[in-house]
Every structure is written in structure tokens, then in C-alpha cells.
Amino acid sequence: MKLVPVVDLLQGEVVHARRGDRAAYRAIESRLCTGADPVTVVRALLRLHPFRTLYIADLDAIQGTGNHHAILVAIRAAFPEQELWVDSGISGGRAVSDWLAADLGSPVIGSESLRHESALRDVLTQLRESVSWVLSMDFRADAFLGPGGLLEDASLWPGRVLAMNLARVGSQLGPDLQLIKRLARTAPNCEVFAAGGVRDVTDLEAAAAAGAAGALIATALHDGRIGAEVLARYT
């Protein structure tokens, strides 16, 4: 499995995401480092394990209250070898063009940001000839957040898909194994990543058995439940 650490950015800091309730997010408290400075947190994650990819959620951009472009530039400058997957709340074709021009990482298209079918078409038109991208299939519990056509037509999906259940992010509930199975069965040629709720190595094994090619992880890294010895088994 490919393990991808998560960095959630809100108002200039790395925050601890909990169940998608963004108003309640607070600055991260980690065993790996002191403080919530983004570059410091990324450096601590890479000291723990030589991760190849980072997933970054720009929560200000997702909520339409600003962006963290300057911090993303700083992360890219400090760690030029890292592949960045960035969810910046892209909601239309113009936003895709602007993102690709900024060259801040591979765009993650979150289904929750696509308010209607026309936005989906605009985004897909811009991405058709672009660099690789990642699709986050966003759910809250059993409810899909996004245009129904995207859920129904797997031919629209790229090679990497996140099984994102916001209700499980930062929780003690474990990953949504049924969602992983559903997406993996729907698009067997896609790499499906567990996103939300991974607590420990048992959850990683269960996600793999459900069909996940990888997993996004955050809390379990910062509180030590997934440490260097476990990470050494994975890419």
C-alpha cells in the first residue's frame, strides 16, 4: 500500500481535522514536533518516514475564505522532491486553469466542491489534457456530496480516487470499508485510497483487504499509533 500523510491547512496553521466539522478544527498537537507551522510539520513527517507524496487540504480555499498559496510555495521550495496532492476547492474550469498555471501540485478535485453537473463538465474539459489529477469522492456518512453523474459514471474518474468519508476524518471509527469496496468494484482499474478514520496497522490491513491501493493518514501519525516500524513495511 501507498501511505500518504495529510496536512490540513486553516488560517496559516496545520489543524487537526475532526469529522468534517471545520469550524471546530484546532491547531495540531503532535508528538513529532512542536507547534503547527506547516513547513515544520512536513519536515517532522518526513523525518518519521520518507513519504513520497503529501496530501494537502487548503481549507480556506475549500471554504472560499482565502488560500494558502504562499505556504504551498514554501513547502515546494523546502521539499522539491515531494509529490503534492492539493485540494484547493476547485469548482470550475477557470479554477483548474489558474491552478495548473500556478504549478503548486497535482490538483485534487473534491466532489463536494462541484455544485452542479455543468461545473463537473467544465472541470473535466480542462483536465482532459492536463497533468495527472486525483478525484476525491466525498461522502458524509452515507450521503454523496457532489453531482450524481460523477458517482454513476466511473469513466469520468482518473487513475487515483479517494474514498473520502468526512464523518470518519479524525474519528475513532476506522475507515469506511464498504465505501472502499464499492469504489474499487465500480472502477477496478483505479487506485482507491482509504481517506478518513485510519487508526492503526489493523485498519491498514482491513483497507487493503477491501481493495484499497493506499491510505491517507494523519492523526495516527501524530499520536504515535502508526510509527516508523509500521511505516517501514509500506511504500
pLDDT, residue 202, reads: 96
pLDDT, residue 24, reads: 67
234 in Cβ contact with 1 (< 8 Å): yes
Q: Distances in Å between the alpha carbon of 194 and those of 27, 57, 215?
A: 24, 16, 4
Number of H helices, E strands in the chain: 10, 11
**Residue 34 reports pLDDT greater than 80:** yes
67 in Cβ contact with 92 (< 8 Å): no
pLDDT bracket for residue 66 (50, 70, 90):
very high
Taking the C-alpha atoms of residue 7 and residue 14, their distance in angstroms, rounded to an integer, is 6
Domains in the chain (CATH in brackets) are 2-231 (3.20.20.70)
CB atoms within 10 A of CB 192: 28
Q: Distances in Å between the alpha carbon of 104 and those of 100, 124, 138, 151?
A: 8, 19, 22, 27
According to DSSP, residue 23 is labeled G
Sign of CA dihedral 78, 214, 166, 85: positive
The full DSSP string for 138-174 is: EEETTEE-S-HHHHH-GGG--SEEEEEEGGGTTSSS-
pLDDT, residue 172, reads: 77
* Phi, psi for 123 (deg, rounded to 5): -65, -45
**Residue 235 reports pLDDT greater than 80:** no
pLDDT, residue 17, reads: 75
134 in Cβ contact with 107 (< 8 Å): yes
Best CA proximity match to 30, nearest among 5, 12, 53, 59 = 5
Note the pTM of the prediction, 2 decimals.
Answer: 0.93
The 10s digit of each residue's pLDDT in 122-154 is: 898 888 766 689 999 999 888 999 998 899 899
The 10s digit of each residue's pLDDT in 41-65 is: 999 999 999 999 999 999 999 999 9
